[in-house]
Structure 1
Amino acid sequence: MGESGAPAGDAEGPAPGEGAEPKDDVRIEACAVDAATGKPSMEITVTNSAAWRVAYQLDIAFVTPVRVSFGDHGLATSPLEPGQSITTTADGILPLGGHVTCKVTQVTRTPR
Structure 2
Amino acid sequence: MSDNFPPPPPEQPQPEHLPPAGAPPERPSPWAAPPGPPRKQHTGLIVTLAVGGGLVVAGAVVALVYSAMSSVEDSIALPPRSEAPYSEPYEEEPAPEPTATEPDVKKDVTIIGCTRDPSIGWQSAKVKVVNGSSTTANYTIMMEFLDEDGVKVAEGGAGVVALEPGESAVRKAQGVGEVPRGTTCRISDIWRTPSESAD
Deviations 1:25-49 (A, max 9, x none): 0010010111111111111110000
Q: Which has the higher strand share?
A: 1
Alignment partner, residue 153 of structure 2: 70
The reply to whether residue 47 of structure 1 matches residue 47 of structure 2 is: no
User: Which 4+ residue blocks in structure 1 deviate beyond 4 angstroms?
Assistant: none
> How many pairs does the alignment contain?
93
> What are the Cα deviations for residues 45-90 of structure 1, in whole angstroms up to 9, with x where unaligned?
1000001101011111111124522323332211100011110111
What SS does the aligned partner of 1:92 have? strand
Alignment of 1:25-40 (within 5 A): 25-40=108-123
For structure 2, the 5+ residue unaligned runs are 1-102
In the other structure, the counterpart of 2:175 is: 92
Q: Which structure has the bigger radius of gyration?
A: 2
Identity of aligned residues (%): 28
Gaps of 5+ in 1: 1-19
Instruction: Tell me if structure 1 keeps the 8 A contact 2:158–2:171.
Output: no
Aligned letter for 1:62? F
Decide whether the 8 Å contact of 1:62 with 1:103 is kept in 2. Answer: yes
Q: Are residues 1:24 and 2:24 paired? A: no
Per mean C-alpha deviation after superposition, the further-off stretch among 26-35 and 72-81 is 72-81
| Superposition CA RMSD, Å | 1.5
Instruction: Specify the SS of the correspondent of 1:99.
Output: coil
- Distance between the aligned counterparts of 1:92 and 1:54, measured in 2? 24
